[in-house]
Amino acid sequence: MARGKLFEYAVLYHPRKKEKDADEKRSVLITSPTTLLASDEKEVAILAARNIPEQYIDKLEDVEIVVRPF
């Protein structure tokens, strides 16, 4: 059995700034930092993508998955 490595990931949503919007839009943390065991960062990204809430599925170009190895 392959040894897993410890990773932490979070999913962020960065709303696009529109010129006509005067309000500053900030990024939103849509998935809290989560720790898991995986073989590599690609596997973590796949698992993180499966946890993106439905309301952001049509905005994937503005979603960022950040991964941190330990």
pLDDT at position 16: 85
pLDDT at position 22: 43
pLDDT at position 24: 62
Task: Note the pLDDT tens digit of each residue in 5-64.
Answer: 999 999 999 998 775 554 567 899 999 999 999 999 999 999 999 999 999 999 999 999
Indicate the helix (H) or strand (E) that contains 45. helix 41-50
DSSP single-letter state for residue 14: -
Task: Note the pLDDT tens digit of each residue in 19-35.
Answer: 555 456 789 999 999 99
Retrieve residue 51's tokens: 């946890």
Give the residue extent of every domain in the chain: 5-15+26-69
Q: Using CA of residue 53, residue 55, residue 59, residue 62, what is the dihedral sign? A: negative
CA angle 9, 39, 32 (to 5 degrees): 15
